Chain A
Amino acid sequence: MKWRLLLTGHNDATTNMSIDEAIMVFVGQGASPPTIRLYGWSPPAVSIGYFQGLEEEVNLQVCKDLNIDYIRRITGGGAVFHESEVTYSLSIPEAQLLIPHNILESYKVICQGIVEGLGELGVISKFVPLNDIIVEGKKISGSAQTRRNRTILQHGTVLIDTDVEKMFSILKVSSEKIKDKLIKDVKERVTSLKNTLSREVSFQEVCDALAKGFEKSLDIELEKGELTESELALAEDIKRERYETHNWNHRR
């Protein structure tokens, strides 16, 4: 089975999130084939889960000072600082047999593509429900999923490098007193490709590995494609009407 592979490079937060959503709409209508997209964030960004409070989770002043985007996702889950990583998104109608209809099971099947992809880089990893992938007990990848109009959208990250101090300057913690301990905890619980492979790892090689990983695990053929004119136009509408609005980003 042939799927589309989109390599959209690095974009700002509103562009990234509106593209994922536009792809989901067209895939859901059958107007675009099932799609895997690999991308990055420039400037760096913090995304928060659908149900999180923006000002509760993110230090907006620090974001402005450091030129870091902030955005609310349409998917649940936690706040993520996107800097040195590859982000993937996968979109496919629910009415097919490759990805289980059951959400819990579908995370496992989709995340297996990441596990295979990491294997291509020589990293042995394991899926841990609901949505984590771990290497030697430490998290290297997290994902989040939504279902709209009988279509699956799952997106997630694979960490290339981490800057925990920077992350904690952007994300608010409930108590400054325990901040040092939290930083230590995260350093103990989170890893990256650079950390586990003890070498520099490029965005491109991670993209190549993930594409191979999804092809293997899902038994599909990925064909490089482009966003259609209609998808780009819809993404612009979604960006303007949702992601660029105060109402959306500050709604909780």
Chain B
Amino acid sequence: MVNVGKCIYKVPNGKLLKVTVEFEEDTISRVQIKGDFFIHPEESLDDLEVALKGKDYTRKTIGDIVGDFFARSGLIAFGITPKAVVDAILKCKEDVV
């Protein structure tokens, strides 16, 4: 069974993240990260969402993938942090619609 978790997460000193996670047991099927933040280049966020597909829904796995994404050379972000993205994705597990 696919569960859908949603959460709205205010980044400390930053913008508002609106995250949706579809997952089956402990595996992520799909993540959408939305909000009024800035990421340059903009298209790169799609890569993060793709990279999370099929991965374990655990802090360790998500933390590594999100950390690698924000550490990409040339990636610049405002109003959004790796920690906020990880926290918001995990929080979706608690708020299943």
| B18 lies within 8 A of A53 (CB) | yes
Contacts of A103 in B (CB 8 A): 40, 76, 78
Q: How many A residues touch B, CB cutoff 8 Å?
A: 22
Which of B8, B34, B41 is in CB contact (< 8 Å) with A51? B34
* A74 on the B face (CB < 8 A): yes
Pick from B15, B32, B38, B79 the residue with the most CB of A within 10 Å: B38
Within 8 A of B (CB), among A2-41: none
Which of B8, B32, B36 is in CB contact (< 8 Å) with A78? B36
- B66-80 CB mask vs A (1 if < 8 Å, else 0) is 000000000010110
Q: How many A-B residue pairs have CB under 8 A?
A: 51
| A76 lies within 8 A of B34 (CB) | no
Within 8 A of A (CB), among B26-46: 32-42, 45
- A75-100 CB mask vs B (1 if < 8 Å, else 0) is 11111000000000000000000000
- A135-171 CB mask vs B (1 if < 8 Å, else 0) is 0000000001111100000000000000000000000
A144 and chain B: residue at smallest CB distance: B38
| A146 lies within 8 A of B34 (CB) | no
A residues apposed to B, CB below 8 Å: 49-53, 56, 74-79, 103-104, 130, 144-148, 174, 252
Q: Can you list 20 contacts pairing A with B, beta carbon distance less than 8 Å? A: A50-B42, A51-B42, A52-B34, A52-B35, A53-B32, A56-B18, A74-B42, A75-B42, A76-B36, A76-B39, A76-B78, A77-B36, A78-B36, A103-B40, A103-B78, A144-B38, A146-B42, A147-B40, A147-B41, A148-B41
Known interface pairs A50-B42, A146-B42, A148-B41; 7 further A-B residue pairs with C-beta atoms within 8 A, sorted by A's residue number: A49-B35, A49-B37, A51-B33, A51-B36, A52-B36, A74-B42, A75-B42
- Top-3 shortest CB links A-B: A78-B36, A76-B38, A53-B34
B residues apposed to A, CB below 8 Å: 8, 15, 18, 32-42, 45, 76, 78-79
